[in-house]
Amino acid sequence: MPETYDGPDYENLLIDRVGTDARVARITLNRPEKMNALSQELLYEFWDVLHVLEADDDIRAIIVKGAGRTFCAGYDITTPRGEGADGQVRSYKQFDGKNRRMLMGIRTSMQQITDIHMYFWNMAKVTIAQIHGFAIAGGCELAMMADLVVATPDAQLGHPGLRGMGTSRTGVIWPLVIGMRKAKELYLTGDPVTGTEAEEMGMINYAWPEEELEDRTIALADRIANGTADNLAILKLNMNRFYENMGIYSSVRSSTDMDAAGQFTEQSYTWQDTMKEGGFRGAVAWRDKPCGDYSARPRE
């Protein structure tokens, strides 16, 4: 059995193996200078490595974490678009001859990213998201697709994009993991919750002290990995089917459609105009100033 990961190398991810007999794989989102923001390239690398790890029978569980001071600050909307994997997704026509945005092109590109989320949800390995710092917007969406989620008590989980950029393309699956009243509150306000609060409401499994987070996450994954890969896959599939029969696939697809449509609201147009005039930081300041959170926290 290999003691180290011996698969492909990636520009935006670090891969290693931990736990008893290296039976737990670990994916580290590795763009710390960008707070591990999800570029198209990172997402396509993530999709690729999930396929690689899923095919390895020696691997029983997968941990996903972030490098540097945070898990993930969401989708990368600040970098130039049109190259690499980004160009592949955005090859669908999103503007007409008068430079007006087109719903179906935007929807199609968003559904391609939803495909990555849904693959992560349904892959035949047990997955654990290990959160510190921020897990917001797309970062929160990604974490919620893991089977288990652990975080530091002071971690921040939320979706500020709901305040000005449409909706969440996966609904952050909050209606499946927390009660309706709190799910609606978080969705309508875009407010964050701490790791401690997230544990209390059932959004995550555990909030552990930062100095213990890594060791305890590995120990949890290692405990799960006492089962064989095929049996764990069946157990996961059986549990997932219960939720899927309650409508997760149709709900996530519908959420992605609503996210695309949400790009055409008055709120979203104001966000886009503010972004053009004041840049990303200016738009974020406009978005969060009334609420006094997220961008009010140090980001460097």
Looking at the domain assignment, is residue 118 inside a domain? yes
Structure tokens at 17: 């193996």
pLDDT tens readout for residues 259-284:
888 788 888 888 788 888 888 888 88
Residue with tokens 């390895």: 56
Number of structural domains (the chain) is 1
Laid out side by side, the sheet with 148-151 consists of 13-18, 24-29, 61-66, 126-131, 148-151, 206-207
Looking at the domain assignment, is residue 214 inside a domain? yes
239 versus 269: the higher-pLDDT residue is 239
Q: Directed axis angle between helix 248-261 and helix 229-245, to 10°?
A: 60
Q: Is the confidence at residue 299, as pLDDT, over 50?
A: no
pLDDT tens readout for residues 147-162:
999 999 999 999 998 8
Looking at the domain assignment, is residue 25 inside a domain? yes
Looking at the domain assignment, is residue 156 inside a domain? yes
Structure tokens at 67: 């490098």
Query: Which of 241, 259, 252, 229 is closest to 118 using CA atoms?
Result: 252
In the chain, the amino acid numbered 196 is: T
Looking at the domain assignment, is residue 294 inside a domain? no
Across the chain, what does the average pLDDT equal?
Answer: 88
Segment 18-21 long-range contacts (CB within 8 Å, at least 24 positions apart): 18/63, 18/218, 18/221, 18/222, 19/61, 19/218, 19/221, 19/222, 19/225, 20/222, 20/225, 21/58
pLDDT tens readout for residues 171-213:
899 999 999 999 999 999 999 999 999 999 999 999 999 999 9
In sign, the C-alpha dihedral spanning 177, 180, 182, 183 is positive
Q: 103: which residues sit within 8 A by CB, 6+ positions away?
A: 260, 261, 263, 264
Q: Is the confidence at residue 112, as pLDDT, over 70?
A: yes
Query: Which of 213, 217, 172 is closest to 192 using CA atoms?
Result: 172
pLDDT tens readout for residues 118-139:
999 999 999 999 999 999 999 9
**Burial state string for 263-280 with b = 16 or more CB within 10 A and e = fewer than 16:** beeeebeebeebbeeeee
Looking at the domain assignment, is residue 8 inside a domain? no
3 state DSSP class of 286:
helix
What CATH number is attached to the domain comprising 44?
A: 3.90.226.10
Structure tokens at 63: 């941990």
Q: What percent of the chain has pLDDT over 70?
A: 91
Domain containing 208 equals: 13-263
